[in-house]
Amino acid sequence: MSPAVRNRARFCFVVVAALLVIFAGRLVQIQGVDANAYAARALKETMQPVVLHADRGEILDRDGQPLATSLDATAIIANPRFTSAKAPKIARVLAAELDLDYFDVLEKLRRKGTQFVYVARKVPTHQANTVMAELAELRISNGVTTERDAVRTYPGGTLAATLVGLVSGETGAGTSGLEKQYDKELTGADGKATYETSPKGVRIPLARQTMREPVPGSNVVTTLDRDLQWYADKRLAAAVRSSGSDWGVAVTVDLESMQVLQLSQLPTFDAEDRSTVTPASMNNRAVENVYEPGSVQKVVTMAALADAGLVTPETKVRVPSHLRLDGFTISDWWDHGRIKLTAAGVIAKSSNLGTIALAQQMDDATLHDYLTKFGFGETTGVGLPSESRGILADPERWSAAQHATISFGQGISVTALQEVAAVAAIANKGRYVAPTLVTEVRRADGTTVPRKAPVSRQVVSAEAAKMVTTMMEAVTGPDGSAPDTGIPGYRVAGKTGTAWRVDPDTGRYVRGENTVSYIGFAPAERPRFLTYVVLDNPRGGGSGSGTAGPVFRDVMQQALQRYGIAPSGSRAPRTPVKW
């Protein structure tokens, strides 16, 4: 053998020996030193994580009937590591059966850097089962799995829809109403499961798995009476439709507890049909919309005057035909010369001028202090998002004209729920109690979340409240401005309201455009329920007695009958309205 051949053979031997040493070393490293790391990596690639979605809590009425609940549905999930190769075939099936965009599905099935992607969520379970069966039949189901993914549903449809609110179709989080306000409580804690899969992505039965159970969200129990809510919704809708109003609100509270039994708002939407949802229909107008309340505010002024010892129902008032203040002419809603009314007559006839004459006995700061105690200028804290404080100007900036107009409900802006709480204080012997909409937040384990007691304070004396109640009863009497709002067999204390609307663009009053309302409670001698109805910008101007009053009467009568309230055992006092 020549030296050249011998050297070449020696070189080849050295190279082969070196390679064998490297391979042997690598084998030792894999089987010995890094065995656990490689085993863990292999296990990781065969383990598929799955989120176990927690059930969202229910929103319930006072009797435990669901206003918002969740039904079983299914999410379809893909592991792109196994679906990428057959993505076009899988995408065609999923897009066709689930009405999805083909290219969007294709992108998800081929997505890099992940082993988990949602292809579709909130799919009806029967439909998801059909899809999975078709994929299995075509032998392209590897890497496609399902998990429970409940869908939010609202059994009442339009029933209290604006109040209850909605959740996001993407995230499931509350976006409006109680769904938003109590989103933290309603949202549960998701669990997690990890399953071992075959190299083809198929879950292996009875193989290794780990699991953390989901914790359901809490249930929110409201004060709403489903049947009374349904009736008021329909009655208010009829009034808004017939009057051509821009919007309407009707609220009824149980005066014994200040729980809101019904809160109807229009426009609204069908929570089961997202196509009916508009920005305007999602506005909780009872707490978000501010407006000038008009003459219903006169009873609050009278309560302040009575508490200060300045007025009784029989107080005599000389009412002029008109009044000139700060360059403005103020008159009553009806033409008259100089007339003589009692304080009860001022309320019964709804005289602006009579109210001004009496209110001039009280200075700006004192009247403002009473209004603040009645809750104006502050939120009620009822527990709805975006609640407004209303507008109550600093008394140091009041003019003589502003003092006058505030006394009869112009120049002050309120929310419907503020007005409800204020007049309810008169019905409740002068004690203000903030209204309540939720009684309980109940956890999945049966325990409840502690809740703060509602704000409560004495605003005026019980005697002052009783005097104003007597004045309000005169409204529904034969000499009052709204005798047709009485309810046979019951003594009713009421008050009409008609206020000029303010153009939001110019900030000026628009003649011929009004916000009309009616507030009242019954039975007047032992008040149990209070109902307030507001209709904004009814066609032709409308009136508190003729447009809002009938809605009040019908809803109040329904509440009295539903709860079996006994008729009044006595007649209303015949307080003189003139002298």
CATH number at residue 431: 3.40.710.10
In contact, 476 and 482? CB cutoff 8 Å: yes
Specify whether 246 is located in the same domain as 137.
no
Interval 315-335 mean pLDDT: 93
Considering the domain boundaries, does residue 532 fall inside one?
yes
pLDDT on residue 210: 64
- Coil, strand, or helix at residue 241? helix
Using 50, 70 and 90 to split pLDDT, how confident is the model at 169?
confident
pLDDT of residue 102: 95
Sign of CA dihedral 550, 553, 559, 563: negative
Over range 420-437, report the average pLDDT. 98
The last residue of one of the domains, among 83, 117, 149, is: 149
pLDDT at residue 240 is higher than 70:
yes
In the predicted structure, residue 415 carries a pLDDT above the cut 70: yes
CA nearest 152: which of 61, 71, 210, 36? 71
Q: How confident is the model at residue 290 (pLDDT cuts 50, 70, 90)?
A: very high
Q: Which of 218, 228, 215, 217 is nearest to 160 (CA)?
A: 228
Which runs of E-coded beta strand occur in 413-569?
A: 431-433, 438-442, 456-458, 493-502, 509-522, 529-536
Give me the CATH number covering residue 103. Answer: 3.30.70.2110
* 334 located within any domain: yes
Q: Does residue 42 surpass a pLDDT of 60? A: no
**268 in the same domain as 371:** yes
pLDDT band at residue 47, thresholds of 50, 70 and 90? Answer: low
Do 125 and 253 belong together in one domain? Answer: no
Write the pLDDT tens digit of every residue in 330-360: 999 999 999 999 999 999 999 999 999 999 9
Confidence check: pLDDT of 24 > 80:
no
Q: Between helices 298-307 and 352-359, what is the axis angle to 10°?
A: 30
Report residue 358 as tokens: 């009496």
**Is residue 335 in some structural domain?**
yes
Q: Which domain holds residue 347?
A: 226-562
Residue where one domain finishes, among candidates 89, 117, 149: 149
Do 133 and 233 share a structural domain?
no
Q: Residues 419, 507: one domain?
A: yes
pLDDT in tens, 104-161: 999 999 999 888 899 998 899 999 999 999 999 999 998 998 888 889 999 999 999 9
14 pLDDT exceeds 90? no
Question: Count of domains in the chain?
Answer: 2
d(CA 40, CA 55): 33
The DSSP code sequence of 420-455 is HHHHHHHHTTTEEE--BSEEEEE-TTS-B---PPPP
> Do residues 90 and 230 share a domain?
no
Using DSSP, state whether 412 is helix, strand or coil: coil
Task: Judge whether 67 lies within some domain.
Answer: no
Which of the residue ranges 169-178, 295-304, 548-557 would you say has the lowest mean pLDDT? 169-178
Amino acid present at 125: T
Question: How many CA atoms lie within 13 Å of 14's alpha carbon, on the beta-carbon side?
Answer: 6
Shared domain for 413 and 525, answered yes or no, is yes
Q: Give the amino acid at 316.
A: K
Average of per-residue pLDDT across 428-450: 95
Q: Which DSSP category does 307 fall into? A: H
What is the arithmetic mean of pLDDT over 51-74?
93
Single-letter code of the amino acid located at 85: A
pLDDT at 29: 60
Instruction: Tell me what the pLDDT averaged over the chain comes to.
Output: 91
Question: What value does the mean pLDDT take over residues 444-463?
Answer: 94
- Domain membership flag for residue 502: yes
Nearest-CA neighbor of 341 among 314, 317, 361, 357? 317
Instruction: Determine what percent of the chain is predicted with pLDDT higher than 90.
Output: 76
* CA–CA separation, 571 and 154 (whole Å): 45
Q: Can you tell me the distance from the alpha carbon of 98 to that of 131, in angstroms, rounded to the nearest whole number?
A: 8
Question: Is 527 in the same domain as 428?
Answer: yes
Structural domain ending residue among the three candidates 101, 127, 149: 149
Answer whether residue 8 is part of any domain. no
Contact in structure between 398 and 340 (CB atoms under 8 Å):
no
Q: What is the pLDDT of residue 507?
A: 80
Split at pLDDT 50, 70, 90, the class of 233 is very high
Residue-wise pLDDT tens digits, 512-546: 899 999 999 999 999 999 999 999 999 998 999 99
pLDDT at 253 over 80: yes
In a domain, 509, yes or no: yes
Q: Is the pLDDT of residue 428 over 70?
A: yes
169 found inside a domain: no
Q: Looking at the structure, do residues 245 and 125 belong to the same domain, yes or no?
A: no
- In this predicted structure, the answer to whether residue 10 has a pLDDT above a threshold of 80 is no
Do residues 254 and 379 both lie within one domain? yes
Judgement on whether residues 331 and 417 belong to the same structural domain of the protein: yes
| pLDDT confidence of residue 76 | 94
**E strand segments, 22-169:** 47-52, 59-60, 66-71, 74-78, 117-123, 144-148, 151-153
pLDDT at 508 (0 to 100): 85
Same domain as 242, residue 142: no
CA angle, 488 then 489 then 491, to 5°: 95
